[in-house]
Chain A
Amino acid sequence: MNPIEIEGLTKSYGSFKAIDTLDLKVKANSFTGFLGPNGAGKSTTIKILTNLIRSSSGSAYLDGVDITKDPKAALASVGSVVETPEFYPFLTPRETMDYLGSINGMSREAIRSKGDELLHMVKMEEWADKKIGKFSKGMRQRVALAQSLLSDPKILILDEPTSGLDPRGMVEMREIVKGLRDRDITVFMSSHMLNEVEEICDRVALIEYGKLLIHDDVSILTKGTDLRRLDVRTVKDLNKVVLDQVTALPLVESARLQSERSLSIDMRGDESDQAEMLEKLNRLGLKVYSLSAEGHSLESLYMDLVKESR
């Protein structure tokens, strides 16, 4: 059985279905990004998987145990960071580890050695004996990630793990999560940041209106999607005639004027097609001095799929 198997999971609030008979199987040792627009049902799914809310119907198996039936056993092999959790302000990170590790049945020695290792990993060892009440959001997020790995979980569930962090904190958090690749662990993370998912994850599951739209390897999904958006800056003034000429070029899906000397082009193709496009634009006499691809393949895929489902 896969580490995470969701079968016909539904969560209703009156007549509104936040999740609608969702089916999803997350492969062992995969790093799966869980994507979807606001209100798609990502957080609801993650909250059901972490016993924060109850499903209306369906099952969700974690390491073979249905969390809707036996949450205690199902969560035994799960670590999680959901939103930015608040900690008990009167405890230090080390005491928090002791509390949570004891609940998981770890020995004091194991908690101490593992806890110290994890606090070192998230660069919080200097703060191990300071009360968490005084910590910044970034520091709390680091401690949150450390506690999620305390019991050597087989499954790690992360909900927007870099939410609220400054750019440096985001980079460090991503590096830590990427560093888990050499462990026997399955990561299931939601994020609004597609570049983050592309950087960390090898698989993507996309949901909208509580239903799964697509779930596959990132490399397979992005291979079939070659839509890219180009931001073009020209020396020559642009007009409707030029725009029509650009729109008529091969591989161009659409083009829009942004200002007198800039336009946006949606085109299909790879990097060499993009290079050819530059030549073609200059042949039209545009005198292009800057051309950059704004979107990347996962974002294009995401936009395509979300657009299609609406």
Chain B
Amino acid sequence: MSNNLPSDLAQMLTVTRYEMYKFLRGKKIYVMLGLMALLIILTTAIPPLMGFDLPSDSKEFMSGYVSWVSTLIIIAVTLFSAGALVSEFEERTGFLVFPRPVKRSTLFAGKYLASFLVCAVLMVLYYLVSCILSLVFTGSVYFETIYSLGLAMLFIIGTSGFAFFLSAVMQKGSTAAILVFATLFLIMSMLEGIMMVVNSDPFFILSHAGISISNVIDQATTTVIPIGEGMTMTSYYPKTDVAAAVMVAWGVVCSALAILFFYRREL
């Protein structure tokens, strides 16, 4: 039998296929689709309901939709990645799959790819609907949106790596999910704010790098803001290339650590 074993790549694709089944047959995908639909409806409907016109400029129009993307990615990664590894231990499915002739690193790669794909497809769908709406309401689509989408993909890589790392070390999926969400949404943002107050560039913080997803359209620049008595704080905006590198670095380092912990973890 050993000679007939498939390659690691083929096994990885098998794992990915069945992880995708898990996502497609679960409720989480509907939660995400519902949330995306709600945000699109609110972004499109609230200005007219409040008596304002929708922006006629495609850049300004897209900005409203893209501002939600990093939040959506954090929620998607929390739902699809945080439990990916820990569930094999917590739900004891590892007893079924670990004794099979497949490397843990292959299982990791298959699960990571599935998680990335589901998040990526959801985000592409969100951008697609946003672009269609832009075309309908402004008659055009702002070109830089494609860069925003690219940065969104990199943000998925970075945040997924972080979520997989926590999934590899935590005992419970719920703890991993809470920590992923709290860290990406709250703790990193707080750290970012503190660093801005002391005029230090938080370029290395993952959530700060995620700002580039919307800023590639908004094109805001770093500004110094007086906060009284000769003191200032700096509102930093990430440079696109640095942000891209930071997101990839988070993805690579966290994934490497996740593989290491997943490999060493015993059932």
State the 10 A-B residue pairs at the shortest beta-carbon distance, nearest first: A76-B2, A85-B95, A50-B99, A53-B266, A75-B101, A86-B92, A85-B96, A105-B6, A90-B25, A102-B14
| Contact status B96-A144, CB under 8 Å | yes
Known pairs A99-B18, A104-B4, A154-B1; list 9 more (Cβ under 8 Å): A72-B5, A75-B100, A76-B5, A82-B95, A83-B95, A86-B93, A87-B96, A90-B26, A152-B1
Tell me the minimal C-beta distance from A241 to chain B in angstroms: 58
Number of A-B contacts (CB under 8 A): 104
Tell me the minimal C-beta distance from B22 to chain A in angstroms: 6
A106 CB contacts on chain B under 8 angstroms = 4
A-contact 0/1 string along B5-36, CB 8 Å cutoff: 11000110011001001100110000000000
| Contact status A78-B5, CB under 8 Å | no
| Contact status A91-B21, CB under 8 Å | yes
Pick the residue among A71, A103, A152 that contacts B11 (CB under 8 A): A103
Known: A52-B94, A77-B2. A72 touches B99 (CB 8 A): no
| Contact status B5-A105, CB under 8 Å | yes
| Contact status A50-B102, CB under 8 Å | no
Tell me the minimal C-beta distance from B144 to chain A in angstroms: 39
Tell me the minimal C-beta distance from A201 to chain B in angstroms: 21
A63 CB contacts on chain B under 8 angstroms = 2
B41 interfacial contact with A, CB 8 Å? no
List, sorted by A's number, 18 A–B pairs whose CB atoms are closer than 8 Å. A50-B99, A52-B94, A54-B266, A71-B101, A72-B101, A73-B2, A76-B5, A82-B99, A85-B92, A85-B93, A87-B93, A87-B96, A88-B96, A90-B21, A91-B21, A103-B100, A105-B4, A105-B6
Tell me the minimal C-beta distance from B18 to chain A in angstroms: 5
A-contact 0/1 string along B69-102, CB 8 Å cutoff: 0000000000000000000000111111111111
Which residues of A75-122 have CB atoms within 8 Å of chain B's CB atoms?
75-78, 80, 82-88, 90-91, 95-96, 99-100, 102-106
| Contact status B2-A51, CB under 8 Å | no
Tell me the minimal C-beta distance from A30 to chain B in angstroms: 20
Residue on B with the closest CB to A52? B267
| Contact status A86-B91, CB under 8 Å | yes
A54 CB contacts on chain B under 8 angstroms = 264, 266
B-contact 0/1 string along A122-143, CB 8 Å cutoff: 0000000000000000000000
B11 CB contacts on chain A under 8 angstroms = 102-103
| Contact status B99-A78, CB under 8 Å | yes
- Docked Cα-Cα span, A133 to B99, in Å, equals 21
Tell me the minimal C-beta distance from B73 to chain A in angstroms: 24
Tell me the minimal C-beta distance from B15 to chain A in angstroms: 8
| Contact status B101-A73, CB under 8 Å | yes
| Contact status B96-A86, CB under 8 Å | yes
Pick the residue among A65, A78, A88, A102 that contacts B93 (CB under 8 A): A88
- Docked Cα-Cα span, A53 to B93, in Å, equals 15
Known: A47-B267, A90-B21, A102-B14. A73 touches B5 (CB 8 A): yes
Which residues of B85-121 have CB atoms within 8 Å of chain A's CB atoms?
91-103
Tell me the minimal C-beta distance from A298 to chain B in angstroms: 28
A-contact 0/1 string along B242-267, CB 8 Å cutoff: 00000000000000000000001011
- Docked Cα-Cα span, A140 to B259, in Å, equals 30
| Contact status A52-B103, CB under 8 Å | no
Tell me the minimal C-beta distance from B34 to chain A in angstroms: 20
A10 interfacial contact with B, CB 8 Å? no
Residue on B with the closest CB to A107? B4
- Docked Cα-Cα span, A52 to B14, in Å, equals 21
A45 interfacial contact with B, CB 8 Å? no
B-contact 0/1 string along A272-310, CB 8 Å cutoff: 000000000000000000000000000000000000000
Residue on A with the closest CB to B263? A54
B91 CB contacts on chain A under 8 angstroms = 86
| Contact status B6-A103, CB under 8 Å | yes
